[in-house]
Structure 1
Amino acid sequence: MERFTAHPPLVRTPGPRPALAVLAALLLGDRCAACGRSGPRLCRRCAAGIGARAHRCRHRPGCPPVWAAGYHRGLDRVLLLEFKERGARGLAAPLGARLAAAAAAAAGPRPGVLLVPVPARPGALRRRGYDPVALLAHAAARAPAARGHRVAPLLVHRRRVADQVGLDRAGRRANLTGALAVRAGPAGVPGRARGGAVRGAPVVVVDDVVTTGATLAEAARALRAAGARVVGGAVLSERR
């Protein structure tokens, strides 16, 4: 079995490479993020190595039914880390297409469901310079599997939360309870937002990874409090 590494070595090419070409490669990404081969950010061989069928996640307390495109291990984990932590934004399209399959499974036969991304914490947003889950949600909405679903950035952080890494299930729930709210619309009226009316709208909550389910549970709580009908959740990978 071929090994994939999070930091593939650069392939040496004969002769000196112009500085502009090197800079373009760094900015645009002319190597596969998984195996390091020259080409797109995800080559065909590696794309074929990740599953295309979404699976139903095990139940987490407080969560709606959640579907995942894969498990948080192997190539799935490598690609997500490259996209989320190492600035490989070119992976948004192929990862978004996988997320679209999970979102379609979560939405069921309903067309035009609102895909509501879990918002990045302000500190993480400043550090990365972009919101990875929002990018994934928009890429998923453009995929053929989306069936008219559209992105609605309805959620905002209403207070500071600690980093979830290292917290157990109880700690994550305590950290996140009451942390999210639906953004106020015109004249500060809750229940109206940039995607139109929230009340009664079918919603699928979108995130990158589900671990204990505390984040998805808090997002669902905030949306239900505003009158939304949360029909499911969709993530790229499930951590077990």
Structure 2
Amino acid sequence: MRGWWQDLTDLVLPAECGGCGRPRMVLCPECRTALSGAAPRRVRPVPEPPGLPVVHAAARYADEVRAALLAHKERGALALAAPLGVALAGAVRAGLQAPSGPDGRAMPVLLVPVPSARRAVRARGHDPARRIALAAAAELRRTGTPARVLAVLRQRRAVVDQSGLNSRQRLDNLAGALMVAPGGERLLGGGSVALVDDLMTTGASLAEAARAVREVASGARTGADGAVRPVGRGEGANAVCGAATREDRGEGRTGVTAEAVRMHGVPGMAGGIRAGDVACAAVVAAPPDAFAINRN
């Protein structure tokens, strides 16, 4: 587990570039251009898993971009969350235009990060996708788009490490593995849901996340035994309001985020979500082959 002094050092002292290793900078201008210099594009894995929403990526997962993502995820270069979040915000904008509410004001974009396995979060000392999502929401708000992070997805069962699995095995590994936390369906209503992650490879994680959100949108939940049960609109509301963690300081491990709890005060956010509210998905990077498949 990383110590607080390591986090503080990463944020205050100059570091080497996360992309190319150039000293005394978080990300050099050339690597920032590789990450965010091109317009985000729609990406599609082959084969494309059933239920995958439209996905946009900011950059190709190669060279400097790959190095930066790995430095943030595996080596705890936390300061990279800011430029990675800017890139993710661009991908969200490409895939989603915030709708207007009845009063003409833009309604919030709800960024729902794909959760990491608990053991991975413990080993790394942070949840990379959630941290980048928080930075992306801040960038969207800075540029005039109302945005919130709703970390409402949970793993309902353990899954094996995805590395080394092919696309079919990843789908089988993740099938039914995610769920929306009790009370989370109340927080998802009234905005445009954008599923977010740092990286898309086969699309299995995003497809499973979309299934979990659509499940509560349709008013049903699949239990561990495979049975489909109705979801009550008031279910788990007290648990949600009491589950805020250190997410309000920029990082969290369990529970619905503090930003999610504050959503109760946002105009137009009352009630449950509707079917089809998963509007898009966005990632920082995707394999080059996913960019090559242009079927727009």
CA deviation after TM superposition for structure 1 residue 58, in Å: 1.9
2:69 aligned counterpart, secondary structure: helix
Whole-angstrom distance in 1 between the partners of 2:11 and 2:82: 18
Whole-angstrom distance in 2 between the partners of 1:163 and 1:146: 38
Check conservation: 2:111, 2:196, Cα contact below 8 A: yes
Alignment of 1:1-240 (within 5 A): 24=9, 28-50=13-35, 51-58=37-44, 60-61=48-49, 62-110=51-99, 111=106, 112-143=108-139, 144-145=142-143, 147-185=145-183, 191-192=185-186, 196=187, 198-199=188-189, 201-227=191-217, 228=273, 229-239=277-287, 240=289
Check conservation: 2:98, 2:109, Cα contact below 8 A: no
State the identity %: 45
The amino acid that maps onto 1:218 is: E
Moved more, 55-64 or 68-77: 55-64
Whole-angstrom distance in 1 between the partners of 2:158 and 2:192: 28
CA deviation after TM superposition for structure 1 residue 109, in Å: 4.3
CA deviation after TM superposition for structure 1 residue 104, in Å: 1.1
Whole-angstrom distance in 1 between the partners of 2:203 and 2:70: 19
Cα 1:102–1:26 shift into 2, 3 Å = closer
Whole-angstrom distance in 1 between the partners of 2:32 and 2:210: 31
CA deviation after TM superposition for structure 1 residue 26, in Å: 10
Residues 144-198 of structure 1: CA deviation (Å, up to 9, x unaligned): 457112111110110000011111111101100110000002xxxx623xxx2x2
RMSD over aligned Cα, in angstroms?
Answer: 2.1
Check conservation: 2:34, 2:65, Cα contact below 8 A: no
Scaled by the length of structure 1, the TM-score of the pair is 0.81
Structure of higher RCO (CA pairs closer than 8 Å, 6+ residues apart): 2
The amino acid that maps onto 2:19 is: A
CA deviation after TM superposition for structure 1 residue 27, in Å: 7.8
2:56 aligned counterpart, secondary structure: strand
The amino acid that maps onto 1:74 is: D
Cα 1:29–1:39 shift into 2, 3 Å = closer
Check conservation: 2:89, 2:137, Cα contact below 8 A: yes
The amino acid that maps onto 2:152 is: L
Structure 2: 5+ residue stretches without partners? 1-7, 100-105, 218-272, 290-296
2:112 aligned counterpart, secondary structure: strand
Whole-angstrom distance in 1 between the partners of 2:16 and 2:200: 28
Residues 98-149 of structure 1: CA deviation (Å, up to 9, x unaligned): 0000011121243411000001101101100100000000000011457112
Whole-angstrom distance in 2 between the partners of 1:174 and 1:71: 26
